[in-house]
Amino acid sequence: MEDHPKSPELISPVHLVGIGGVGMSGLAWLLKDLGYTVQGSDKEDSIYTHKLKKVGFKIFIGHHKKHVEEAKSVVYSQAIKEDNPEIKRAKELSLPIFHRGWILAHLAKKKKSIVVAGSHGKTTTTAILSYLLHHLGVSSSYYIGGTIKGWERNACWDINKIMVFESDESDASFLYFHPWISIVTSLDDDHLPFYGGMDKLKFAFEKFLRNTCSEGMVIIETRTTSKISIPSSTKVVTYGIGDGEVMATSLKNVQGGVSFVLKINNKNMGRWFLPLPGEHNVENSLPGIYLALYLGGEVSQVRKILSKFPGVKRRIEKVGDIKGATIYDDYAHHPTEIKRILGVFPSHRVRVVFQPHRYSRFSYLKKEFANALKGVREVVLLPVFSAGEKPIPGADSYSLLSLLKSLGVKCCYCQTIQQAIEYLHSSIKNREIILTLGAGDVWKVGKLLISQGGEEE
């Protein structure tokens, strides 16, 4: 599919194919702020389409060629295929058709862009940075792959010169960006079927860093520096737990989150508090803290703002309580992420409801998923959430069920979300933790379970 026509300019009305996802709905907000007339379609309603409808966006449920008849330009997401009837009709009408990532990068050229990339931690890193800069008055322009709790939307275009973007490496669209400041949170074996191997994924990240403005800087997690080549022409700042120029040490789990000592270039900046659980979240906070200080924030001011960060929806989010059990939800969809999340909870009390995401990822990481999940009280498996992919032989939840059983893990398979809810409701134990994991719609399990007599958070 053509990523962008010769003319880079969008023309209203703009039709977004796949508007119900977090990325495309965020783009809808940005375009609206810029004065465009925006409409869109998706195969089904979502929390994002509901929000957009409330403020007057025209949303079509289902894809049909008639939906683009009044459009002057079309934007599509990665999940949309060439045989989509709206894409086919747009081509027949000779409408300019753009990839979402290309449009975002085009908009980024109008700002001093801070672009976050990485296999894990992008959304929380972007959210904390956006939250700090907003409350410092530095910038209220942001594009996040999730919603900060208490904020109505995940993207906003304001008059500020600086803007924070979360990028997407899954389809290499992060290479459209030429950031003022690049942040790389991690590099792991994800999206390998798209790239064709780890070496090509590494090369893509190296190209992303080379795209960074020479007057800007690269901020990179310390362990990742050994995995990719970093351009010598750009200022580089490393960060991490116990290592890096921006470093968190002496971590303590305290009520409501984690406290830690911050050091920048070996200078002790005192003890800080992050109201989120997990060492990985402390790591995710470091680029934001550094840039908030770099862009003029006072230490005491930045420390106070960070201590009030409310968290991000679907990131270790407490859903509620039912029958003495507590339900949490997280977007984790890679073995590394699952291990990090499980490290926050006492494993003997945890029942995981896991929905694998994408056949392509599941097919080559199946054993790693099984190893990540072992040690919990029980695993309840749902079918693979396809995200628009076609099934791959052997890449189904039954195969993971067999692997888990071979490792001695108590587990079961539920064909539907409703089946999972009924099973959990009939077997809830006092003081246990029910943790729903996955990038699909597994979050519905907790919400619907709580609606059957629980107390919502």
Contact 204, 186 (CB under 8 A): no
pLDDT of residue 232: 84
Q: How confident is the model at residue 76 (pLDDT cuts 50, 70, 90)?
A: very high
For residue 88, the model assigns a pLDDT of: 95
Q: Calculate ∠ Cα 322-326-327, nearest 5°.
A: 95
Predicted pLDDT of residue 3: 54
Range(s) of the domain holding residue 168? 111-306
Q: What is the largest CA-CA distance in the chain?
A: 62
Query: At residue 273, does pLDDT exceed 80?
Result: yes
As given in the structure block, the two tokens for residue 305 are: 């703002």
In the prediction, which pLDDT does 12 show? 94
Residue 3 falls within a domain, yes or no?
no
452 within a domain of the structure (yes/no)? yes
Pairing between β-strand 267-274 and β-strand 317-322 as defined by DSSP bridges: unpaired
Does pLDDT of 457 surpass 60?
Answer: yes
Residues 270 and 406 in one domain: no
Give whole-number Cα distances, 228 to 87, 180, 222, 317, 371, in Å: 37, 20, 11, 33, 27
Q: Is the pLDDT of residue 96 over 60?
A: yes
* β-sheet with 350-354: strand ranges across: 411-413, 378-381, 350-354, 433-437, 325-330, 317-322, 455-456
Domain assignment present for 269: yes
* pTM confidence score: 0.92
Would the pLDDT of 372 be above 60? yes
| Residue range 170-222, pLDDT digits in tens | 999 999 999 999 999 999 988 888 899 999 999 999 999 999 999 999 999 99
Q: Does position 7 have pLDDT exceeding 80, yes or no?
A: no
Angle between helices 299-306 and 122-136 (to 10 degrees): 130
SS3 (DSSP) at 144? coil
Q: What stretch of H or E contains 73?
A: strand 73-76
**CATH (domain of 94):** 3.40.50.720
Res 66 pLDDT > 80: yes
Q: How much of the chain exceeds pLDDT 90, in percent?
A: 82
pLDDT of residue 285: 98
Residue 311 belongs to some domain of the structure? no
Residue 42 maps to a domain:
yes
Percent helix, percent strand, percent coil in the chain, to nearest 5: 35, 25, 40
189 and 249 together in one domain: yes
Domain match, 121 and 36 both: no
Arithmetic mean of pLDDT over the chain: 93
Q: Is the pLDDT of residue 91 over 60?
A: yes
Does residue 106 belong to any structural domain of this protein? no
Q: Given 267, 287, 306, which residue is the final one in a domain?
A: 306
- CATH code: domain of residue 158: 3.40.1190.10
Residue 357 lies in a domain: yes
Q: Are residues 371 and 298 in the same domain?
A: no
Residues 298 and 376 in one domain: no
Same domain, 261 and 335: no
- Closest alpha carbon to 26 in 150, 166, 161, 120: 166
How far apart (Å, rounded) are the C-alpha atoms in residues 154 and 135? 16
Asked whether the predicted pLDDT for residue 347 surpasses 90, the reply is no
Mean pLDDT of 120-141: 96
Task: Write down the pLDDT at residue 1.
Answer: 56
Q: Binning pLDDT at 50, 70 and 90, where does residue 2 land?
A: low
Q: What is the pLDDT of residue 377?
A: 92
Which of 100, 135, 156 is where one domain is finished? 100
Number of domains in the chain: 3
Please give the pLDDT value at position 5.
52
Whether 44 and 146 map to the same domain: the answer is no
For the residues 392-413, what does the mean pLDDT come to?
A: 92
Interval 435-441 mean pLDDT = 94
Residue 64 sits in the same domain as residue 142: no
The arithmetic mean of pLDDT across residues 19-41, rounded, is: 95
End-to-end Cα distance, the chain = 43
Q: What is the pLDDT of residue 302?
A: 98
Query: Do 132 and 228 fall into the same domain?
Result: yes
Residue 376's pLDDT is: 93
Tell me which of 259, 280, 306 is where a domain ends.
Answer: 306
Q: Provide the CATH number for the domain around residue 355.
A: 3.90.190.20
* 159 and 46 housed in the same domain: no
Same domain, 269 and 177: yes
Exposure of 218 by Cβ count < 10 A (0-12 exposed, 13-18 middle, 19+ buried)?
A: buried
DSSP structure string for 186-233: ---S-SHHHHTSHHHHHHHHHHHHHTS-TTSEEEEEGGGGGTS---TT
- Are 117 and 185 found together in one domain? yes
Residue 43 falls inside a structural domain: yes
Dump pLDDT digits (tens) for 289-344: 999 999 999 999 999 999 999 999 988 999 999 989 999 999 999 999 999 899 89
Q: Are 75 and 98 in contact (CB under 8 A)?
A: yes
